[in-house]
Amino acid sequence: MKKWLLIFALCGMVFAEEGVKQVVFDLKTGQLESFEKKVLQGIAYHKAHYEGKLEKLDVAVVIHGDAYKFFIKDLKNSPYKNDASLAKAHEDLSKRIATMANTYEVEFLMCEATMRTLKIDQSNVYDFVKMTPNSTIGLIDKQNEHFAYIPIH
C-alpha cells in the first residue's frame, strides 16, 4: 500500500510540473515607457493570466544594453546621474522592481561584461539582481532550461 501511495505522489509531482510555463525576457531597452509597459505591467498581467488557468509562470529577465539604468540603487554614482526623467521616477521604479523580484518571483540577471565597461559597481545594483558573465550566456542558459524567448528592445 505504501508503494502505491509513493507512486501516486510521484505521478502527482510530475503532472504538477506540466502546468509550469517559463519565459525569459531579453531586456535591452532604456525607454522608460517600454520598460513600464512590457516589464512592470506586462509580467504582472502574464502571471495573473496563467494563475487564472491554475498554471504557474516562471519569469527571468536578462538585463543589458540601455536597461542597466533601471536597476541602479544610487543614480548619482552611475553613468545615469544626468537622466532627469529617470531620477524623477527612480523611487517608484525601485519599489515596483523589488515587488517583481519578491512578490512575483521574477529572476533578474545582469550582464557583467558591459557593467564593467560602463563602470557600474555591483554594490550599486539591487541586491536581488544576479550576475551572468554576459547577456548571451544568460539567454543561452535560460533557453536551454526551456524558457521561451521574448525580446524587449
The verdict on residue 144 lying in a domain is: yes
Domain containing residue 139: CATH number: 3.40.1260.10
Query: pLDDT digit string (tens) for 72-121?
Result: 999 999 999 999 999 999 999 999 999 999 999 999 999 999 999 999 99
Helix (H, G, I), strand (E, B) or coil at 66: helix
Residue 108 in grid coordinates? 533578474
- Please, is 8 exposed, middle or buried when counting C-beta atoms within 10 Å of its C-beta (0-12, 13-18, 19+)? exposed
The verdict on residue 8 lying in a domain is: no
Which domain does 82 fall in, by range?
Answer: 18-151
The verdict on residue 66 lying in a domain is: yes
Query: pLDDT digit string (tens) for 22-69?
Result: 999 999 999 999 999 999 999 999 999 999 999 999 999 999 999 999
Number of structural domains the chain divides into: 1
- Please, is 141 exposed, middle or buried when counting C-beta atoms within 10 Å of its C-beta (0-12, 13-18, 19+)? middle
The verdict on residue 61 lying in a domain is: yes
pTM of the model: 0.87
